[in-house]
């Protein structure tokens, strides 16, 4: 009962705003040349990001798969961190490392050429704004995901085959050709498509590092139609375009890709014999070091800059922190309850309803909700409620994928016994389901809390100077070039996101081992 | 509209005080506050900063009005107008301060603004007659750079050089829109070619003036689109004469910044009173050294000394509000096409 009600509520929450979008988009706005440019840029940056993330992930995953060293587990855990890292925090870290005044340009600045004639010295420098910045940020987020997915592929090769290859005297080249290459050929297209689909809906990265006519994604164009042109018909039309793009890519990815995007169980011991040779060993070590630095340097930069920026934070940060915590905790409670209700319903269409939000991007939903609210109330008054609802919808598919298998397992093992004891409703939930599912529920709650805490999406559409979440406040401080204060608030956001995740996750584990 | 790269520390302070008041339950204080009429003024970011005109204006007006003047910032000037259109008649704004000559057409078309009667002896370079909008300062757009940096003397020369420049988005920012009008008026049908040539000089397009100017100060670009009056800030406030505004052969586009009153205002008398106050000396005298623009009415004490050294364009350019409104969409299309290549 509860499951079906929850499924209907989700479908209503998705379909009514989408209906509003369809209805408003029917108003006649057709995509113009600039909208097509946004579509092209969206596809192009997503393709570049997907290919770059995947190709760079292959050597890293191979190195992790075939080497044993202290800290290997930590490296794999680090690869899971970007999933719950707030985008705005990563962007601040990336600017600190790759921006004009950042580490990389400082190093390049050391190699300035002497001035030709009477000109100023010519220095090499990289810019983080525009296409390369957007792709860089996307690789930062998706390289680790790709590594984890490809690592699964490596671990799925039966260890006996590696041993057999060693027996037969196969060198690293033969192993690559006979064992690894077929696996990669089967795995990589799916990985590319998953990353591609994720990058299609990029908003916060494009908002902060893109923006000009040359680097506008469709999600960003929706936002601009609101804030620059107040053109609701155009926003609705762009939402429709975005819906088609995301649904199309999502369906393709589902067909081609493995869907266990994250989760435990990657750190399995594998009896793969590490190939000999100093050069190969050095190569693997180099790949892993570069990947670790690529992820750690920006985080370290946020920590270092943030510590000195904590004192600079304006008091408005605390109000925003309160808002974000309230949203994150409410979203966690709601999402986990809804996912549990869906998982226990034991009906196929109910699960599917839980996956449906994958098709809608936050800004598309936000546009629909704005269209619905605007005629009857001030949308800014509903900013926090809308943010909460959209956060729940966005986290639900991930949470469901964690909760559903666990719930099925519990029902398979103990369902009949519980049935025979006449254990139903709350009693069943309290005495059977919850105690048995503490661990996945804790992990799911941690993910939701962290995702919701760090979300910078729909709130930007409904924003109001007085009503902000912590990520939006960080963004505004960046916009006002209060770099120190922004870094301080970013550090706070980082600590809260990771902290919430750890509290829930460890809470689930602690209770489970009791 | 020039400000220092520090955001509204003042509003933060107010925030803190408000929180404190609530936390300690000073019921009497909030009661008294509830009886004071509130005048809500929407403006652009840089107006209401510690360094901008906001604090001085607020203090001076509150001394005479028996009201609580609250500035609400919403990005750059053009974003403020978008925000209003988004909120429509439900907006809490009474007055909007910071639109300009290029936006008046669109603002009038929105039907949100009420007619006002304000009398003043304007010191504007053009005659002023507008039923709804009252000017408060003006200036010429110009590229600002360093004395020892690249110094192109025209758009063509800038496009041919490898000087890097930061500009603002014409959809959200009044300087961005001003630059669009500047190029359009100077080059007409060839404007798109100029933009195509300029495309590789443009480091980035920011949503507002503040972001662009700060990128320039941080050394992210050689030049920034700003005002001929910007060097006065560095000269007077910082004693720094290394920043200059570059004279362009094509002439310089002019901006008159204006304010207007909303039809939906629940404080129409107070709003009208504020607009009249805006052209008095108490407001106008702080403009040159806080907003770093020419005041709309000559202050009693005249202009500050640093203003005498500023570059004066030989050829001022300006389109009427109607003209600007009619070319905006075409010019914007050209701009977006050229820059998205």
**What are the residue ranges spanned by the domains of chain B?**
9-138+255-307, 140-253+312-339
Q: What residues of B are in contact with residue A100 (Cβ under 8 Å)? A: 218-220
Shortest alpha-carbon distance between residue B209 and chain A (Å): 10
Structure tokens at A265: 């169980």
Residue A44: which pLDDT band, with cuts at 50, 70 and 90? very high
Q: How long, in residues, is chain A?
A: 514
Q: In terms of Cα–Cα distance, which of A96, A499, A83 is closest to A321?
A: A499
Is the distance from CB of A441 to CB of A508 less than 8 angstroms? yes
Is it true that B9-138+255-307 and B140-253+312-339 share their CATH fold? Answer: yes
Residue B29: which pLDDT band, with cuts at 50, 70 and 90? very low
Question: How many C-beta atoms lie closer than 10 Å to residue A106's C-beta?
Answer: 11
State the SS3 of A91-123: HHHHHHHHCCCCHHHHHHHCCCECCCCCCCCEC
What is the assigned CATH class of domain A31-108+126-288? Answer: mainly alpha
pLDDT at A278: 82
Between residues B336 and A232, the one the model is more confident about: B336
CA distances (Å), A149 to each of A54, A195, A263, A266, in order? Answer: 10, 11, 11, 9
In the predicted model, is pLDDT for residue B214 greater than 90? no
pLDDT tens for residues B91-134? 889 999 999 999 999 899 999 999 999 989 999 999 998 999 99
The domain B9-138+255-307 having CATH identifier 3.40.718.10: the answer here is: no
Percent share of chain A, pLDDT over 70: 90
Substitution target from B49, B176, B336 for chain A, most A beta carbons within 10 A: B336
Could you tell me the end-to-end alpha-carbon distance of chain B, in angstroms, rounded to an integer? 31
For range A373-396, the mean pLDDT: 89
Shortest alpha-carbon distance between residue A117 and chain B (Å): 14
Between residues B220 and A391, the one the model is more confident about: A391
DSSP tag of B47: G
pLDDT at B161: 93
Query: Distance from CA of residue A163 to its chain's centroid?
Result: 37
- The answer to whether A415 contacts chain B (CB < 8 Å) is no
In the predicted model, is pLDDT for residue A512 greater than 70? no
pLDDT tens for residues B5-15? 444 444 555 55
Is the distance from CB of A220 to CB of A38 less than 8 angstroms? yes
Residue A257: which pLDDT band, with cuts at 50, 70 and 90? low
For range A48-57, the mean pLDDT: 96
Q: How long, in residues, is chain B?
A: 341
CB contact under 8 A, B207 and A319: no
Question: How far apart (Å, rounded) are the C-alpha atoms in residues A472 and A465?
Answer: 10
pLDDT at B85: 84
The fold for domain B140-253+312-339 equals D-Maltodextrin-Binding Protein; domain 2 (3.40.190)
pLDDT at A511: 59
pLDDT at A116: 53
Residue B26: which pLDDT band, with cuts at 50, 70 and 90? very low
pLDDT tens for residues B253-292? 999 999 999 999 999 999 999 999 999 999 999 999 999 9
Question: How far apart (Å, rounded) are the C-alpha atoms in residues B177 and B187?
Answer: 15
Delimiting residues of CATH 1.10.3720.10 domain(s) in chain A: 1-24+313-514, 31-108+126-288
DSSP tag of B247: P
Q: What is the mean pLDDT of chain A?
A: 85
Q: What residues of B are in contact with residue A229 (Cβ under 8 Å)? A: 82, 171
pTM: 0.82
ipTM of the complex: 0.73
pLDDT tens for residues A17-34? 988 888 877 766 788 888
Provide CB contacts within 8 A for A214, sequence distance 6+: A41, A130, A131, B339, B340, B341
DSSP codes of every residue in A172-211? HHHHIIIIIHHHHHHHHHHHHHHHHHHHHT--HHHHHH--
- The answer to whether B74 contacts chain A (CB < 8 Å) is yes
Q: Which CATH architecture has domain A1-24+313-514?
A: Orthogonal Bundle (1.10)
pLDDT at B295: 95
Is the distance from CB of B128 to CB of B135 less than 8 angstroms? yes
- Highest mean pLDDT: which of A69-83, A109-123, A425-439, B282-296? B282-296
pLDDT at B198: 94
Question: How far apart (Å, rounded) are the C-alpha atoms in residues A78 and A81?
Answer: 5
Percent share of chain A, pLDDT over 90: 33
pLDDT tens for residues A455-495? 998 888 887 767 789 999 998 888 766 778 899 999 999 99
Residue B3: which pLDDT band, with cuts at 50, 70 and 90? very low
- The answer to whether A385 contacts chain B (CB < 8 Å) is no
- The answer to whether B242 contacts chain A (CB < 8 Å) is no
CB contact under 8 A, A227 and B172: yes
pLDDT at A249: 87
Question: How far apart (Å, rounded) are the C-alpha atoms in residues A121 and A192?
Answer: 42
- The answer to whether A465 contacts chain B (CB < 8 Å) is yes
For range A43-51, the mean pLDDT: 96
Substitution target from B204, B264, B329 for chain A, most A beta carbons within 10 A: B204
Between residues A229 and B139, the one the model is more confident about: B139
């Amino acid at each position: 009962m509860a499951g079906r009600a929850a499924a209907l509520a989700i479908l209503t929450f998705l379909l009514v705003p989408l209906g509003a979008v369809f209805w408003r988009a029917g108003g006649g706005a057709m995509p113009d040349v600039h909208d097509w440019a946004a579509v092209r840029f969206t596809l192009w940056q997503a393709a570049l990001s997907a290919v770059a993330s995947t190709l760079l992930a292959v050597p890293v995953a191979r190195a992790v798969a075939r080497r044993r060293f202290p800290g290997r587990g930590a490296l794999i855990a680090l690869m899971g961190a970007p999933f719950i890292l707030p985008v705005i925090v990563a962007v601040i870290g990336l600017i600190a490392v790759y921006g004009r005044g950042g580490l990389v340009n400082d190093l390049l600045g050391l190699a300035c050429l002497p001035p030709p004639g009477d000109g100023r010295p010519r220095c090499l420098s990289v810019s983080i704004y525009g296409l390369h910045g957007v792709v860089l940020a996307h690789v930062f987020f998706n390289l680790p995901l790709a590594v984890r997915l490809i690592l699964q592929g490596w671990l799925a090769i039966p260890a006996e085959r590696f041993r057999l290859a060693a027996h037969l005297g196969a060198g690293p080249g033969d192993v690559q050709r006979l064992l690894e290459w077929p696996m990669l050929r089967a795995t990589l297209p799916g990985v590319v498509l998953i990353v591609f689909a994720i990058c299609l809906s990029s908003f916060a990265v494009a908002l902060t590092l893109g923006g000009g006519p040359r680097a506008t994604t469709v999600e960003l164009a929706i936002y601009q139609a609101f804030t620059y042109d107040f053109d609701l018909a155009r926003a609705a039309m762009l939402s429709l375009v975005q819906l088609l793009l995301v649904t199309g890519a999502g369906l393709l990815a589902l067909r081609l890709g493995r869907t266990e995007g994250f989760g435990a169980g990657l750190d399995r011991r594998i009896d793969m014999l590490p190939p000999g040779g100093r050069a190969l060993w050095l190569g693997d070590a180099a790949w892993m070091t570069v990947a670790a630095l690529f992820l750690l340097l920006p985080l370290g930069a946020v920590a270092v800059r943030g510590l000195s920026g904590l004192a600079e934070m304006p008091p408005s940060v605390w109000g925003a922190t309160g808002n974000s915590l309230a949203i994150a905790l409410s979203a966690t409670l709601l999402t986990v309850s809804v996912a549990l209700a869906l998982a226990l319903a034991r009906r196929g269409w109910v699960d599917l309803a839980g996956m449906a939000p994958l098709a809608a991007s936050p800004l598309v939903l936000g546009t629909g909700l704005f269209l619905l609210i605007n005629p009857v109330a001030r949308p800014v008054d509903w900013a926090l409620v809308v943010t909460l609802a959209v956060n729940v919808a966005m986290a639900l598919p991930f949470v469901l994928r964690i909760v559903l298998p666990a719930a099925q397992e519990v029902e398979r093992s103990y369902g009949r016994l519980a049935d025979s004891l006449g254990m139903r409703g709350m009693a069943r939930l309290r005495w059977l389901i919850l105690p048995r599912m503490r661990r996945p529920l804790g992990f799911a709650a941690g993910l939701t809390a962290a995702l919701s805490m760090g979300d910078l999406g729909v709130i930007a559409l409904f924003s109001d100077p007085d009503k902000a979440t912590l990520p939006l406040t960080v963004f505004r401080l960046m916009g006002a070039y209060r770099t120190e204060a922004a870094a301080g608030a970013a550090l706070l956001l980082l600590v809260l996101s990771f902290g919430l995740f750890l509290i829930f996750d460890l809470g689930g584990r602690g209770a489970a081992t009791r | 509209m020039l400000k220092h790269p520090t955001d509204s520390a003042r509003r933060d302070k107010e925030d803190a005080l408000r929180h404190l008041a609530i936390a300690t339950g000073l019921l009497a204080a909030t009661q008294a506050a509830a009886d004071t009429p509130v005048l809500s003024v929407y403006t652009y970011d840089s107006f209401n900063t510690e360094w901008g005109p906001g604090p001085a204006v607020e203090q001076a007006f509150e001394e005479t009005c028996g009201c609580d003047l609250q500035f609400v910032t919403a990005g750059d000037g053009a974003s403020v107008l978008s925000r209003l259109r988004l909120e429509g008649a439900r907006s809490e704004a009474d007055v909007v301060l910071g639109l300009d000559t290029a936006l008046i057409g669109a603002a009038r078309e929105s039907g949100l603004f009420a007619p006002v009667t304000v009398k003043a002896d304007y010191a504007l370079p053009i005659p002023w007659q507008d039923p709804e909008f009252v000017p408060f300062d003006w200036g010429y757009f110009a590229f600002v750079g360093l004395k020892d940096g690249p110094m192109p003397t025209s758009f063509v020369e800038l496009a041919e050089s490898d000087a890097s420049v930061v500009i603002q988005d014409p959809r959200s920012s009044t300087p961005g829109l001003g630059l669009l009008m500047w190029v359009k008026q100077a080059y007409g049908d060839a404007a798109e070619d100029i933009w195509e040539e300029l495309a590789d000089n443009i480091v980035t397009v920011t949503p507002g003036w503040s972001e662009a100017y700060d990128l320039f100060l941080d050394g992210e670009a050689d030049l920034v689109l700003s005002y001929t009056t910007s060097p006065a800030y560095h000269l007077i406030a910082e004693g720094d004469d290394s920043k200059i505004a570059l004279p362009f052969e094509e002439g310089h586009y002019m901006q008159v910044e204006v304010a207007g009153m909303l039809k939906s205002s629940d404080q129409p008398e107070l709003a009208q009173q504020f607009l009249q106050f805006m052209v008095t000396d108490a407001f106008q005298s702080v403009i040159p050294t806080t907003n770093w623009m020419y005041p709309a009415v000559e202050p009693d004490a005249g202009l500050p000394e640093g203003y005498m050294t500023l570059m004066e364009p030989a050829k001022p350019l300006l389109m009427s509000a109607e003209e600007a409104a009619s070319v905006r969409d075409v010019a914007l299309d050209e701009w977006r096409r050229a820059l998205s290549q």
